[in-house]
Structure 1
Amino acid sequence: MSPAAESDTRPVDDPRRGHIALRSGRIEVDATPTLMLSGEVHYFRLRRDDWADRLVQARDAGLDTIASYIPWIWHELPDGELDLTGRTCPERDLPAFIDLCDSLGLRFLARPGPFVMAELKNEGIPHRIYREHPDAHPAGWDGAAATTEDLDYHHPGFLAAAERWLGAVCEVLAPRQAPDGPVVGVQLDNEVGMLAWVSNTPHLDDLAIGNFLAWLADRHTTEGAAKLLGTTGDDFGRLAAAVRSGGDPARTLAFHQELGLWARDDFAKYLQHLESFTREHGISVPLLINVHGTGGGRGTTFPIGISQLAPSYRGRHGVLAGSDYYLGELTVQNVADLYLCNAILACVNGPDQPATSLEFEVGTGDYGDNLDGLSSPESGVHKTLLTLGQGNRLINYYLLTGGRNPVLEGSEDDGIPRIAFTGERHGFAAPIDPEGRATPAYDALANLIKEVRAYEPILATGRQLTDDLGFGFVADHYLTEYAHPTDTARRAQVDDLVRYRGFGARDALGRAIVLGGYHVDAVDLQAIADPESAWAAGTTAPEAPRTIVLSTPRTLGQKVQQWLTDHVRNGGNLLLTGMLPDRDHDGTPCTILADAFGLSSAGVRADRRDDSGPYWPTVTGSGDFSIDADLRVASAQLLKVPDGATVLLREIGSGLPCAVQAPLGAGSMIFVGCDFPAAHLDNWRNLFARLGVSPRVRIDADRTGLVTVPVASEHGNLLITVNVAPYPITASISVDGQEVQPSTTFPARGHALLQW
């Protein structure tokens, strides 16, 4: 036990208890809006004698909640019996750990799986499940077995065993729930759909295919489903083979779209089954669903998790979504990722569902224990401040404490007899290392939480002030998890979607918004364009802002194209980047939006180096839209434009337009058909100004790199300001014309919380 903690392990007289309510996007404890700041502490990776030490370190840092996975693979013994009370090993005594949290004034957030990942073997599933139910391990494309430890969530053998496990955990959790105990939330499974996505292995075992065929028949009739597969009749073997081979080659885009929609529905049925099961077994506190998707220090794929899982939770009473953020150092490269991911996560929630983060990266970032990378202590500070400013009410810092992987009785002969595959030590990057020593990240976290607590009334109730600007989110742009390996048409579609969706080619649109000083909410375009759809179920889309910004590939759904057209015709504006959309998600030609503005493609000029020589597309300003220098772009869509449209940019080699402003009814659209560099922020500001949009937060700075979030509440206003640049920035800042910060120098990686 560390000396600092030795005298502080006494129980407290007033544990943090109270009735938990979700109301108006807030978390309330006994009717008081509250921020829950949690740390992940894996009791099963610590000696029981060290539990109190680590919990006190968490409490001393200012955290009020402890979260932990509860691994099935750890609590199930080789004979199949469950030990949740420590009769075989003191580190299996789950009730004792939860009660210790309570005695130290800490809440508890339970994460019992059945899948838990956390570098555990089989993602936390006992080995016997795979031995006893080999057919639960999914087949994928062409019948190949999944390369991960994935399981068909609906397999009756797996589901029965999982229910037995969860039922036993509920017996421990239910008597300890708030308001009379410390348990304030229970997570349902973990990163559902992630294993299928990262391995391009849809669930195509016989059970899953039977469910898929029934789902198709319900949507298209049995004959329509067979036609989509390029076959006839009802022979299951023939239909299953057609599914596994990617459907009818002539309708491959339609097939892949249907497969993605079915998987989305299938995951929702599974998670809602777990929701019902836990409620029936006495769990009344909020239930949480972990949304995966970041990777490689970027958040550009995070909306895949939202697309997969939103129907599992959106608008469901007492259910919350939590992000899973691993972004490393926060820089100009990825700060827009975090900002826009927070906005997208919030936009699909129901009105009473606050955003949360169930795995919020904190620590040094040296996950491989190999000095593969190091993150500064300030990185966790910046990510926290921006995320809280955008309305997250719960953050679980993952991983707060390191530990050691215990030996697993009955472990397979796989080279390591322990519970996980990371060796003996685990959590190398945590603020508290496996030996219990504080790292620089711990002190930074403790100082941050003190600062946050001073403004908790604002951050627990406030809402970000935004400009009259909405970032368009199209969920089906992210149905890209699956592509048959030999299907060139589907691969081309996925490549196009990945390049242009979301934050735009070269991430230019996202960076222009966030680093340009604009503040936006995301707009769920599919929900607002088709409120009766399965996607929109459970929530009412809010009124859209006057100006929508959207980056789109060639693929954009018919109803979204129609809604955007009507939005502009009725007096709204649209800033569109990417490609002129010319087809629906199923491959059906659809040019509603382009036709309304009289635009059409005259080809694409892109970087090349072939027998004809090299070509480097470059654009220049046109007419009254001047830019300070000709700019290199990787590609430019050349345009045929109607009379009345204003040409903004031309591709120099062809002389043809590649960016225009075109009127329609009472509004107008700007289309930028090239990857216009984000570094030239004044050019982007001029584009926004042409649509009547100016940022309410004015930053007069000598360099780029300041990011702000203005928060307003009944308790006052707060401007969160972070410098993500590696150099100091001198700036003055005003909000709505009121000076908030006179000229001052923000140090490199510095931040400020400013009231006005």
Structure 2
Amino acid sequence: MTTFSVSGGYFRLDDQPVFIHAGEFHYFRCPREDWRARLQQLLDCGFNAVAAYIPWLWHQPTPDLMDVDGHSHPLRDLAGFLDLATEMGFWIIPRPGPYIMAETINEGVPPWVFEKYPHASFVNQYGKVENIASYLQPDFLKCVDEWYAAVFAVLAPRQITRGGKIIMIQLDNEMGMIHWVRNIIDTNPDTINRFAEWLDKTYHDDSPYPSLDVPAKRLYLMDRIRNPQPDSVRVIEDYRRFFRVYIREYMTRLWNMARAHGMEVPPVVNIHGFGNGGKTFPIGISQLIEAMEIPGMISATDVYPLHIDEGNLHHITLINEMTKAVQSPEQTLFSIEFQSGGNQDFGGTQSSLYDLHSRVSISLGMRAINHYLFYAGENHPILSPVKRHDWGPPIRKDGTTRRHYHRYRSLSNVIRAYGEALVVAQPKTVTTIGFILDQYMTEVNNEFTRPFTDTLTHQRDVILFDFIARGLTLTHRPFNCIELARGTLDSAKTPILWLMLDKACDAPIQQKLANYVSEGGKLVIVGRLPEETFGHTPCTILRDALGVQIARVDPPFTQTHIHAFKERDIPASFVETYTGEVGEVFATTADRDETVGFIKQVGMGHVMMLGAAFGAMVPEDLGVFDTMATRIGLPRLFRMSDWADVRVSEGDQGSFLYITNFQDDPIHTEIWMQGEPLFNGHTIHLPARRGAILPLHWRMHDGITVHWLTTEPLEISENDVEVRLFTDSAFKIPLAQISLDGYQCVSGNLIERGEDGRFLIDAIDGVFIFKKG
């Protein structure tokens, strides 16, 4: 019996690392007679898995009608759908809610739940009843348990642990997303009671709140939430932290219910928040961090970039690295909602987005993708009052395909050709971005918390994303991330650390940073030095350790200009100036010549401080970043004669160079890695809006090593006498440098035979043939 496991940074089948390549299919929006044909289209793309929401409101439209076998409607035959997917060879990832969103009424929860149990509803800070549940309200959970009993009666026997094909199950969907998007705070009595209890456990005898008995404390909290006052700031900030624990408790309850009804495979929590090009995504991580840290939990992202090019590449890079920093180290990077829609027939997203986004994500270590949503369909009125459900996916309602459908097969072929060698290869990074998750704990606000949130949002977006992440990305300095409240800082393992700081930072993190520098780390800070904790207690540990004083702080959002290195009059805001032992000054205010940026030795390490906010929006700004990186001792990993995004993953079975051209014109470029030319100096040719995964020292087959290849492999076939390597004909005539042991190449032209036994061969028809002997 096949096994599925999560260990060592991989998803594994029979203990072998595997790439999970799935598409989302909503069986309840497609005629039953078309299910097989639609799933075949997924197989034709080279996918090995299918995911599906299972809508509660569809399968239990009334309290007394529960249908998961199709006896009341053919599109409720969940068992039949799962058995068909199993018959066709798919691994399966069910997503049974209770919440599914997916443009359904009440986000997937049956209306009768609220009609029967109105007190289970979420009541916002204005006293308005929302059309969502208060997650932990007992009657809501009782209804969920009844739903789970029915749906897991179908799911449980079909798990891989029992000889079936279900390998993971997502519980609920985007927990906390609605609360963030609507900016709503739950004042349901059940939630307020839990909040009051949490405050007692958290603060014990050192509470900043009035000493009140339990009923009075509940009234106090309710009043401060519904009638904001200056001291409501602490209430809202504590509520955000409480809600992390609340979501963890909700996920724990769901998992316990599911296990009671037979769930044995790992659970999945999906992370929402991909707004503003991805800059808000860490808000979702912050909301869900406690649930993500439940032992055995698999974390997965929801990503919808809408487009991809040099302008937002760093968004995608940063959010993936932030996710890796806080997810279980046992799992691979996994996206359970990876945009495959948005390509409407008359306008919309470029069809190249989906392939390019996939390639970039794989280059960052993603080894499990569910392309969402892969099919258009129709809604029954129970699901939605809007009949048409078509957001531009690869497959239309009638089964015809849009242009981007055909790109999936090609990438699947490349993944299959490389096999386990690509799956196990790990991205090479040269530096680290530090981040503080509490800087993203800003999902709900009132008029008194809003100014702090607006300032923090600006600093996050402009500095962390558009200066640090963009600067590293566009100058070919690949990075990983560390969450500073959770991760360990070791100057030997993390020699250079970049981070955005603002006026609040908790004491343990400030001390950790001070220790890191004094012990030999190189710390690059952009922003402003902290003067208090997130709880608003004065704290200047880091500033004191650096031995500088703050001379002046511009009011928030004040626009001014600074000089940095040789660049003059750079537009900037949130400027802070320094005095004291600032060491070497590299940036000053344009009008007063006050110190804004400096480099100095602190203990055994160095700190580089830039007290200003501006993004790397033009080449001059990027030049400032590049000079900062060079001065702190961080060279570029790659250099190119014509710019493209390039990254490398390294493994025991070979390394893989990911090169991506986002331009509307082809590029022809030479590539140097760590100062050495790749491909023996030969030019790489990439068509417009195309990417390539090129091998370096890849053990393609026993006796055949491909040291490099200037195009992508699509297929390897073999028989008793020969091995054939088929490559992509979209590129120029492929060149390959190959070592052979027990084989000879009988195709193409031998260009050069090296003294080291390597052969330089081209293949006009794109096929390399190796015969035994």
State the TM-score bracket (shorter-chain normalisation): 0.7 to 0.9
> What residue number does 2:348 align with?
374
* Structure-1 residue corresponding to 2:707: none
Measured after TM superposition, the shift of residue 118 of structure 1 is 0.2
> CA-to-partner distance for each residue in 1:262-304, whole Å, 9 max, x for gaps?
00000001101212222222211121111001024x1111111
Q: Give the one of 456, 480, 487 matched to 1:497.
A: 456
**Structure 2 segments unaligned to the other structure (5+ residues):** 697-773
Alpha-carbon distance, 1:449 to partner = 1.5
> Is the strand fraction higher in 1 or 2?
2
Of the three residues 561, 569, 573, the one matched with 1:618 is: 561
Residue 669 of structure 1 is matched in structure 2 by 607
Give the whole-Å Cα distance in 2 for the aligned partners of 1:392 and 1:262.
31
* 1:244 paired to 2:222: no
**1:228 and 1:254 in contact (8 A); partners too:** no
Secondary structure of 1:430's partner? coil
Q: Displacement of 1:124 after TM fit?
A: 0.3
1:364: Cα distance to partner?
3.8
C-alpha contact 2:193 2:218 (8 A) present in aligned 1: no
Q: 1:438 to 1:151 in 2, by over 3 A?
A: same
Q: In structure 1, what is the Cα distance between the partners aligned to 2:221 and 2:520?
A: 50
Correspondence for 1:387 among 324, 349, 361: 361
**For the residues of structure 1 that align with 2:53 and 2:368, how far apart are their CA atoms?**
17
- Report the counterpart of residue 22 of structure 1 in structure 2: 6
Q: SS at the partner of 2:160?
A: coil
Equivalent position SS for 1:466: coil
CA shift at 1:354, angstroms?
2.1
- Contact 1:499 / 1:553 at 8 angstroms: preserved in 2? no
Equivalent of residue 701 in structure 1, options 637, 641, 648: 641
Aligned to 1:269: 249
Aligned amino acid, residue 664 of structure 1: V
Q: 1:713 aligns with which of 651, 662, 678?
A: 651
Q: Which residue in the other structure is 2:633 paired with?
A: 692
The range that moved more, 188-197 or 681-690, is: 681-690
User: In the aligned structure 2, how far is the partner of 1:67 from the partner of 1:26?
Assistant: 19
Partner of 2:427: 464
* 1:734 corresponding residue in structure 2: 672
Q: 2:765 maps to what in 1?
A: none
Q: What is aligned with 2:726? A: none
Q: Higher Cα Rg: structure 1 or 2? A: 2
Q: Is the 8 A contact 1:254 1:587 kept in 2?
A: no
Alignment of 1:336 with 2:314, yes or no, is: yes
In structure 2, the residue matched to 1:166 is: 148
Output the amino acid matched with 1:271: M
State the identity as a percent.
28
2:551 to 596, 602, 609: 602
If the length of structure 2 is used for normalisation, what is the TM-score?
0.85
What is the letter of the counterpart of residue 450 of structure 2? R
The answer to whether the Cα contact below 8 Å between 1:242 and 1:248 also exists between their aligned partners in 2 is no
Give the Cα–Cα distance (whole angstroms) in 2 for the partners of residues 592 and 32 of structure 1: 48
Within the alignment, does 1:216 sit opposite 2:199 as a pair?
A: yes
Deviation at 1:677, TM superposition (A): 4.1
Structure 1 contact 618–651 (Cα < 8 Å) conserved = yes
Cα deviation code 1:359-401 (max 9, x no counterpart): 00013444xx8x6x61122211111112122222210000011
Q: Which moved more, 1:741-750 or 1:514-523?
A: 741-750
Aligned partner letter, 1:207: D
Q: Provide the C-alpha distance between the structure 2 equivalents of 1:640 and 1:79, rounded to a whole number of angstroms.
A: 67
Query: Which residue of the other structure, out of 271, 274, 285, is the alignment partner of 1:291?
Result: 271
AA matched with 1:241: M
Q: Which of 683, 687, 690 is the matching residue for 1:743?
A: 683
Which residue of structure 1 lines up, in the alignment, with residue 481 of structure 2? 522
Q: Does the 8 Å contact 1:633/1:677 carry over to 2? A: no
The residue that corresponds to 2:408 in the other structure is: 445
Distance of aligned partners of 1:33 and 1:586 in 2 relative to their CA distance in 1, 3 Å threshold: same
Q: Is contact 2:459–2:613 with CA below 8 Å preserved after alignment?
A: no
Q: C-alpha separation between the residues in 2 aligned to 1:644 and 1:363?
A: 52
Matches within 5 A, 1:197-236: 197-221=180-204, 225=207, 227-228=208-209, 234-235=215-216
Supply the distance in 1 between the matched residues of 2:218 and 2:323 (Cα, whole angstroms).
40
Q: How does 1:95-494 map to 2 (within 5 A)?
A: 95-146=79-130, 149-179=131-161, 180-221=163-204, 225=207, 227-228=208-209, 234-235=215-216, 238-245=219-226, 249-250=230-231, 252-296=232-276, 298-314=277-293, 316-317=295-296, 319-366=297-344, 374-408=348-382, 419-421=383-385, 423-467=386-430, 469-484=431-446, 486-487=447-448, 490-494=449-453
2:359–2:691 contact (8 Å) kept in structure 1 = no
Q: Shift of residue 243 of structure 1?
A: 4.1
Counterpart of 2:595 (choices 651, 657, 672) is 657
Rounded Cα–Cα distance in structure 1 between residues aligned with 2:493 and 2:192: 39
Distance change >3 Å, CA 591–CA 89, structure 1 → 2: same
Report if aligned partners of 1:718, 1:754 keep a CA contact under 8 Å in 2: yes
The 1:336/1:204 distance shift into structure 2, 3 A limit, reads: same
Amino acid at match of 1:187: Q
Segments of structure 1 that go 5 or more residues without pairing to the other structure are 1-16, 409-418, 531-540, 609-614
Q: Which amino acid aligns with 2:169?
A: V
Q: CA deviation at 1:616?
A: 5.5
TM-score by length of 1: 0.87
CA gap of 1:542–1:598, structure 2 versus 1, over 3 A, is closer
Describe the SS at the equivalent of 1:526: coil
The change in CA–CA distance for 1:365 and 1:663 in structure 2 (over 3 A counts) is: farther
**Which residue matches 1:571?**
520
Q: In angstroms, what is the RMSD of aligned CA positions?
A: 2.3
Count of aligned positions: 690
Distance 1:233 1:314, change over 3 A: closer
Distance 2:554 2:511 in 1: 28
Pairwise CA distance, 1:134: 1.5
